[in-house]
Structure 1
């Protein structure tokens, strides 16, 4: 029997995509350290596919029925495969990727580091969930090596950046080379299942009609590239080289016991961002660097909720598609050991070396009274590639 405290019991049952010995990819559910082959167990064609997209597109009622069917099969003793015998893959085809900046603690810390003589939060920050569009094609599954990116950098006041020189009139001159300020961002990602129509905003209360599940996410960041390029249009090459997500997608239904009140929002957001107390998720995060836990950020301290992020993402009539991924931005709490990026933990003095391995782990209250363990996010830094 599966240990109910393993984090992958019957109250969790996350979805993933697996194959055996190079065979066809198909949808499975994790139970303990074993995998239930849903395609073989049910005969349903949408589960005999190399991604979760076909299942996700069918909507909440089918999600509910599938979850119940998987649980019934496992309770009846359905045959499962050892996790060690399967190969895991990217669980869904990423349609679009949007990353938010939803932690007040993170945004304040970054503002103090980058703009020490100004207010840390920009005037719009408490009126809307700030975000940027990322690159869907470089979202990769846990365990994929992260090659140190290259790009343009210029001299800054930070001692960790290399000298680049300037023109006779004092203007900065960039150089091209590997980043020296490679960072992580411990985040939570939300996976869209049911699409919306172009021109029709998704209401604040309709989150559960569209969002299929949650993944752990590491938004790798090259801080020196980012600092040079982000004005005036925002992050580009400093972010687009890799975003790592977990192999397992936790269904929103498995997080029913994790919903909690977030800190009060002041000023009161505009009505389309939802009335009353803002609800978020009580998810604990653990950041491990080279085998040592360096931070434990709590998602329950976030300022903007996932429901508000989706409402704002579509407020202008932009549609969402099956497979869209939107992320929370760095999760940071008020304490020094709750910061979700190395930029904050080490205040810009140290970053990732080649060979460094980062592991993000997540847990949340389960509906069965214990805790569930979300899929981990692992990545090792490889040296920059030479032309």
Structure 2
């Protein structure tokens, strides 16, 4: 076991085994850092003390207000940075310890920022439990479409409205259907969260060149929590025949700290057996997920937070590698900073449903939030909190929190 001279609270998401990358600021401009316990390692400041001598270009990428250029230097570089800091945290005579008052900044004193410049975002539909539950609500006799078990279904989302944890979400306006009448234009009455993960693409692929499934994981830098906010009543009216549009383009949220692909490897577990076998370009062996516990809490205004979902990413039917292989099979190219989200992650029971659409059976059965409060969908000033962590013996790696509060619709 690694032993750090820096006290890290028991159960911290940001253990010495994690060291996720993020962008932060204090009284100085936004820059790159690593989270450790209740602290941030200031990477430009550590560079100035010659901690990363193998990479003279590191100083420039550490000072950028997003991680894209840092990620673009490759996993060998980011692994070197993490290992250098990890070693320094275990060395009582390290420069990091000697200058800790200058190099370590309390997390409570910093502001975290959007860690990525996201050029492209794709939202998959990778949880069989979620797809089946939603399908059963609207098509009881045929919950899964014929294509679902043959390919990772997805749609291209809106990258410009992806924001970092803590950014409020304004209730959107849109068209909603009315029985036997023209649609109404009104604020959504069915605002929902979606519990997801998003894979951060770490290197470019070539346009016109598919990425083989066996090589797909080489293109992943790390993982963040993801909330694909959804307006279900707007979605019901607009999604046929081309899928969701304004019901989802108004906001998505990500957690501020990018957990690296390397840090997650100790938590790999086999993915569910696929039947029927997918086509050869999707047939990875072995297929692996992560034993990653996920929760969703909702905190109504002036009330305690209640947990509405507890599930695990290990049940995902389609893996990250299969998502990438299918995404690129046409020759579509990936770019550094792209996000490939899993879609809502659910389990089988109502307490494991990753969105209110499922948990409330499309608003028919409210969930209880304590203090006599119940919810069918989100109300104004509700705050949604998504958390995730992996645990293997004494090794714990977490993602921190992804928070977002609902604000009332603007008058139009």
Match of 1:191 in 2: 200
**Preserved contact between residue 24 and residue 112 of structure 2 (Cα < 8 Å):** yes
**Preserved contact between residue 135 and residue 240 of structure 1 (Cα < 8 Å):** yes
1:109-137 per-position Cα deviation (integer Å, ceiling 9, x unaligned): 10111223x30000000000000000000
**Preserved contact between residue 150 and residue 177 of structure 1 (Cα < 8 Å):** yes
Matches of residues 228-247 of structure 1 in structure 2 within 5 Å?
Answer: 228-247=237-256
In 2, distance between residues paired with 1:37 and 1:227? Answer: 46
**Preserved contact between residue 294 and residue 311 of structure 2 (Cα < 8 Å):** yes
The root-mean-square deviation of aligned C-alpha atoms, in Å, is: 1.3
Match of 2:56 in 1: none
**Residue 11 (str. 1) matches residue 26 (str. 2):** no
| Superposed displacement of residue 72, structure 1 | 2.6
Q: Which runs of 5+ in 1 are unaligned?
A: 157-164, 167-172
Matches of residues 164-243 of structure 1 in structure 2 within 5 Å?
Answer: 165-166=180-181, 173-243=182-252
What is the TM-score with the length of structure 2 in the denominator? Answer: 0.87
**Residue 24 (str. 1) matches residue 48 (str. 2):** no
Aligned residue among 8, 11, 16 for 1:2: 8
In 2, distance between residues paired with 1:203 and 1:55? Answer: 25
**Preserved contact between residue 215 and residue 375 of structure 1 (Cα < 8 Å):** no
In 1, distance between residues paired with 2:327 and 2:166? Answer: 29
| Superposed displacement of residue 25, structure 1 | 0.8
Aligned residue among 36, 42, 45 for 2:47: 42
Match of 2:352 in 1: 338
**Residue 113 (str. 1) matches residue 137 (str. 2):** yes
SS of the aligned residue for 1:376 comes to: strand
In 1, distance between residues paired with 2:67 and 2:390? Answer: 23
1:30-54 per-position Cα deviation (integer Å, ceiling 9, x unaligned): 0001000011101421111101001
1:345-384 per-position Cα deviation (integer Å, ceiling 9, x unaligned): 1111211111111100001135x74221113110110001
Match of 2:88 in 1: 73
SS of the aligned residue for 2:311 comes to: coil
In 1, distance between residues paired with 2:132 and 2:272? Answer: 15
**Preserved contact between residue 192 and residue 321 of structure 1 (Cα < 8 Å):** yes
| Superposed displacement of residue 4, structure 1 | 5.1
Match of 2:149 in 1: 126
**Preserved contact between residue 214 and residue 284 of structure 2 (Cα < 8 Å):** no
Match of 1:376 in 2: 401
SS of the aligned residue for 2:24 comes to: strand
In 2, distance between residues paired with 1:213 and 1:274? Answer: 23
In 1, distance between residues paired with 2:325 and 2:216? Answer: 8
SS of the aligned residue for 2:160 comes to: helix
In 1, distance between residues paired with 2:267 and 2:178? Answer: 45
**Residue 385 (str. 1) matches residue 394 (str. 2):** no
1:86-106 per-position Cα deviation (integer Å, ceiling 9, x unaligned): 111001111100000000110
Match of 1:357 in 2: 383
What is the TM-score with the length of structure 1 in the denominator? Answer: 0.93
Greater CA deviation, 206-215 or 269-278? 269-278
